[in-house]
C-alpha cells in the first residue's frame, strides 16, 4: 500500500498536467483530477472559462460533471440505475484551494476528500477566506489535505499572472 502522502504527490502530478493544459486556451492554469471509489482516475478537469465562455467552467466543476457522467455510464453498463450525482468515496485533487462555488459543488456532490496544492488567500473556501468544506452547519463535511506540492502549484499561477500583467 502506498502511503497517503505519496499518493497525494502522484495524484497532484496529474492535476498539474491538467493545469498546464489550460494554458493552451489562455485559461488560468488550474487542474483537477477526480479519483473514483476504486482509486483510479474517474475524470479530469481544467479551467475552461476562456475556452468555453462559461463562468462556471472551473477545473473542479468540469471534473465533477465528467465524473458524475462516468459513474452513470459505468452503472448503466452493468444494469444498475444510479442516482447520477453522488460522488461518494471519490477524491478530488486540485492545484488551487477551491473557491466558494466549487466548494459548494463538492459538498453537494458528496465528495468526501479533497487534496489541494496552493492556498487561495483571496477566494479560498477550504480554510483561507471561508471553510465551506468543513462547515458543520451543512449536511456533508469534507476531509481536506492542503498544501500538497504547494510551491509548484503556486508557482504555475504566479508565472501565469506575471506574464499577463507584464
**Does the annotation place 90 within a ligand binding site?**
no
Are 31 and 21 a contacting pair, CB within 8 Å? Answer: yes
Identify the bridge partners of residue 33 per DSSP, sorted by sequence position: 44, 93
**Does the annotation place 153 within a ligand binding site?**
no
Active site residue 60: yes
| List of residues 6+ apart from 59 with CB closer than 8 A | 15, 18, 19, 22, 30, 31, 32, 45, 46, 47, 94, 95, 96
**Does the annotation place 102 within a ligand binding site?**
yes
From 7, 18, 48, 60, the catalytic residue: 60
Query: Could you give the dihedral angle defined by the CA atoms of residues 10, 13, 18 and 23, in that order, rounded to the nearest 10 degrees?
Result: 170
Are 152 and 19 a contacting pair, CB within 8 Å? Answer: no
Residues noted as catalytic: 60
Query: Which amino acids are annotated as binding site for Zn(2+), given as ranges?
Result: 58, 99, 102
Amino acid at each position: 500500500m502506498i502511503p497517503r502522502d505519496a499518493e497525494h504527490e502522484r495524484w497532484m502530478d496529474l492535476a498539474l498536467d491538467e493545469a498546464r493544459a489550460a494554458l493552451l486556451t489562455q485559461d488560468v492554469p488550474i487542474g483537477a483530477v477526480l479519483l473514483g471509489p476504486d482509486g483510479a482516475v474517474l475524470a479530469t478537469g481544467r479551467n475552461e472559462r476562456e475556452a468555453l465562455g462559461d463562468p462556471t467552467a472551473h477545473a473542479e466543476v468540469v471534473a465533477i460533471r465528467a465524473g458524475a457522467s462516468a459513474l452513470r455510464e459505468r452503472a448503466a453498463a452493468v444494469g444498475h440505475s444510479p442516482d447520477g450525482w453522488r460522488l461518494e468515496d471519490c477524491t478530488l485533487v486540485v492545484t488551487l484551494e477551491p473557491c466558494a462555488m466549487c466548494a459548494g459543488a463538492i459538498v453537494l456532490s458528496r465528495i468526501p476528500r479533497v487534496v489541494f496544492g496552493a492556498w487561495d488567500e483571496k477566494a479560498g473556501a477550504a480554510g483561507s477566506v471561508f471553510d465551506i468544506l468543513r462547515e458543520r452547519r451543512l449536511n456533508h463535511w469534507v476531509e481536506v489535505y492542503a498544501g500538497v506540492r504547494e510551491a509548484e502549484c503556486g508557482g504555475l499561477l504566479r508565472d501565469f499572472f506575471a506574464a499577463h500583467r507584464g
